[in-house]
Structure 1
Amino acid sequence: MQKAVSIMYTVFSFQSPTDGYCLVYLIDESQKAYCLLPYRQQTTGNFPVKANRRYVLFSPKDADRSIASLVDEYILNSQENKEYNQIYIIFSPNPLTKTIDRSTTELMPRETTVENFRKWLARCRRNDLDMAVEVKNIVIKGQP
């Protein structure tokens, strides 16, 4: 029997009191780390943010016109009853660059292993005491 798929559109809002850089990763149950931000078409390795400006991420219609064409829109789905994932939102007022990753398809975000991601994050945190990391636990529910 095939299970129905539950779909969740992913949109986040981000604002900082200082200029800096933001990265967003999703860790799934298969122990893969997906780089959601910077967007796939961005070549800088980070997402610069301006102080006191609200950013709506992953929504082309809500994005600043200057980057709207770069915005990746994600749909999270699951064929399981429940899937537990984590979203890492990483900010630093200091320049930071995403971990080394690889692109698998045009439709999927760049990915790396959770082990590589955690080593990269630990190294960054040791070297950047101003870095802030917020982890959000999310549940993607399948249809019964």
Structure 2
Amino acid sequence: MALSFLPAIAGRTATVSVEYIYHIPENVSPTEAREIAFQRAQIQAIADEFGTTVTQTTSVTIDTSNEETTSEFLSIGGSDLKGEWVETIGEPVYEYITDGDALAVRVKAKGRIRELKDFRIPFDVKILRNGIEDSHESDNFLSGDDMFMSFNASAPGYLSIYLIDANRQAFCLLPYSQQENGLFQVKGNKKYLFFHPDYSADIEKMVVDQLTLDTSVERERNKIVVLFSPNKFYKAADSATSADVPRNLGYDDFKKWLVNLKKRDVDLSVTEKSIVICRH
């Protein structure tokens, strides 16, 4: 039996302008709300342009085959979208508004999106708090908690993981800081556990970076960005600013690198997961 791998095929591209209003819950800060509003604006723009049906984790469906697209959704996996946001043109414009007694944020953004005509390699990634089992999966952490991540793809490829903090710094979590070749190759159908020296796979234990999350404020939202492709790619150029933290670069430079990478590699999958770190 002969098998062949069919890469994702990029369809048409479009430049879109989108506006989205996000009503801010009491447990979400105005700054965090801006990020959420922008992410949902991106999803809405892709769904509106390519006429897809988008299924969320809450089992609510957005059907854009009709005249309008509803915006009543909470979250969505990027793999459910038949398109992607390639780059933002200019800077998003935010405005805080009131709707009765509720506070909301309106975002207006312009960007370039790309249709995907085929599926990419599926993979599963979990963020784990203070443990290595799937039951330890969480997006809420306290200062001093350890963070691990599990990863499993159905085919071999290359992987990179970044953490974006509240100060707009992009920290390279994988490849590990002592790996000098700038890339991390993974096998297909093999479960990896990262940031734990006892489960370092083919990596020497001394190379594995162990992660403990911390914050100096009451509540901080960070973003984990996972990049996977069957094609070889190298991490962004970064620098070591301290022996206690991973190598890093500014968020604007990270975005430029990611945009260029997306343009060159239509097979690249990018998954973003938000985590919250509380001081107490």
TM-score bracket relative to the smaller structure? over 0.9
Pairwise CA distance, 1:108: 1.1
- Deviating 4+ runs (over 6 angstroms): none
Distance 1:35 1:66, change over 3 A: closer
User: Which residue, 167, 170, 175 being the options, matches 1:38?
Assistant: 175
Distance 2:209 2:220 in 1: 22
Pairwise CA distance, 1:67: 3.0
Pairwise CA distance, 1:25: 0.3
Pairwise CA distance, 1:75: 0.4
- When the two structures are superposed, what TM-score results if normalisation uses the length of structure 2? 0.48
Pairwise CA distance, 1:65: 5.3
Secondary structure of the structure 2 residue equivalent to 1:46 = coil
Taking the TM superposition and a 5 Å limit, the aligned residue runs for 1:16-27 are: 16-27=153-164
State the one-letter code of the partner of 2:225.
Y
Any idea what the Cα deviations from partners look like across 1:89-119, whole Å, max 9, x if unmatched?
1101100000110011222100100000011
User: Which residue, 34, 38, 63 being the options, matches 2:200?
Assistant: 63
Unaligned regions of 5+ residues in structure 2, if any? 1-141
Q: Tell me the equivalent position of 2:265.
A: 128
Structure holding more helix per residue? 2
Between 1 and 2, higher relative CO (CA 8 Å, sep ≥ 6) is seen in 1
Unaligned regions of 5+ residues in structure 1, if any? none
State the one-letter code of the partner of 2:219.
K
Distance 1:18 1:68 in 2: 25
Any idea what the Cα deviations from partners look like across 1:62-86, whole Å, max 9, x if unmatched?
2225432211001011121100100
State the one-letter code of the partner of 1:93.
P
Distance 2:241 2:270 in 1: 26
- When the two structures are superposed, what TM-score results if normalisation uses the length of structure 1? 0.92
State the one-letter code of the partner of 2:149.
F
Q: Tell me the equivalent position of 1:96.
A: 233
Pairwise CA distance, 1:8: 2.1
| Structure 1 residue 111 corresponds to structure 2 residue 248 | yes
Q: Percent identity?
A: 37
Q: Tell me the equivalent position of 1:53.
A: 190
Q: Tell me the equivalent position of 1:78.
A: 215
Q: Is the 8 A contact 1:8 1:140 kept in 2?
A: no
What CA RMSD, in Å, does the superposition of the two structures yield over aligned residues?
1.2
Secondary structure of the structure 2 residue equivalent to 1:11 = strand
Secondary structure of the structure 2 residue equivalent to 1:24 = strand
Any idea what the Cα deviations from partners look like across 1:34-88, whole Å, max 9, x if unmatched?
0010001111101110011111011111222543221100101112110010000
State the one-letter code of the partner of 1:24.
I
Greater Cα radius of gyration, structure 1 or 2: 2
Aligned length: 139
Distance 1:66 1:102, change over 3 A: closer
